[in-house]
Copies of this chain bind each other. A is one copy, B any other.
């Protein structure tokens, strides 16, 4: 898979959030966060088409773009890269940093505990498998 650039990631976020969209819609969403010209967004989405990061339906006059990969799949891939480049591959160190820097709420802590239980009980095919 090709690594999406910053700008490409922003566009993917919009597509993941809202489903298949036109260039105009994506550009409007991006414009809420930063100034960006229409043709700039268009160009990047065309490049993303070449890279096979998105596909488009060219039926109507305005094409409809959709993300090729699922959000979680892409995030997983990028996480791997980041893990390797910045934390030398140690997932633990990353998790510790993340938990340390962004104190999770009570709810979130429960969520993590739950996840840990799942992992620990993983070999016994837990109650909620």
Contacts and interface: CB of A to CB of B under 8 A. Distances in A.
Contacts of A79: 86, 94, 97-98, 101
Contacts of A97: 72, 75-76, 79
A59 interface: no
A86 to B, nearest CB: 5
Nearest to A91: B102
A47 interface: no
Interface string A41-57: 00000000000000000
A86 B94 CA distance: 15
A-B CB proximity, top 6 nearest: A91-B102, A92-B108, A91-B98, A78-B86, A82-B82, A95-B98
